[in-house]
Amino acid sequence: MTFHGKHYQIEGLDAFPKPTQQPHPPIMIGGRQRRMLSLAARQANIVSISMLDPRGPELPMPPTYAEKVRWVRAAAGSRYGDIELHVNASHVEVTDNRTAALERLAARLQATPQEVLQSPTTLVGSVDAIVEQLHAWREQCDVSYVIVSSRLMDVLAPVIAKVAGT
């Protein structure tokens, strides 16, 4: 690699280690608004769709996850099938009392339980219910890349095993 910049120059660098992915590692771009998600749809391999939209009584209802996926699909055009859709599952609870857990979460988020379930950031219920949620989000909105906090690894192990078919 050769580079001549304002502050430094590189001549014939044979960098190591070499990336294993060619032509480069996957690029992830994320956002929550149409402009950034459209850019991500045109440029990235992985589009991270944020649901951290401001909420409040004086604010308009934020777009749903499905709506944001439609923005990505429209901007990506023919390359949509090559893109992975990513979400951070920030509200995760494995429980047999799904109703109570959703009501607690909805109260904390100042939303209804139905509104809370309109986002793949919420995975609440039994192992089977969460597996169903993951499959439904994959089917409905092409979600293929879900990240959860490392503190939830043990809690979600049975979900991951069931999704993986082990």
**Model confidence over 22-44: pLDDT tens digits?**
888 899 999 999 999 999 999 99
CB 48, CB 65: distance < 8 Å:
no
pLDDT digits (tens, 9 = 90+) for 100-159: 999 999 999 888 999 899 899 999 999 999 999 999 999 999 999 999 999 998 999 999
What is the b/e burial string over 42-78, where b = at least 16 CB atoms within 10 angstroms of the residue's CB?
A: eebbbbbbbbeeeeeeeeeeebebeebbebbbebbee
User: Which of the 8 DSSP states describes residue 117?
Assistant: T
Phi, psi of 38, rounded to the nearest 5 degrees: -70, -40
CA distance 166 to 32: 35
Average the pLDDT over 78-93 and give the result.
96
Residues above pLDDT 90, as percent of the chain: 76
Q: Which residues contact 121 (CB under 8 A, 6 or more apart)?
A: 51, 65, 87, 88, 89, 90, 91
The mean-pLDDT minimum among 14-18, 42-46, 81-85, 129-133 falls in: 14-18
pLDDT over threshold 70, residue 6: yes
* Average pLDDT, rounded, for the chain: 93
pTM of the full structure: 0.82
Contact 96, 126 (CB under 8 A): yes
Residue 19 pLDDT > 80: no
- Confidence at residue 123, expressed as pLDDT on a 0 to 100 scale: 96
Task: Please tell me the predicted confidence (pLDDT) of residue 166.
Answer: 66
Average pLDDT over residues 39-63: 91
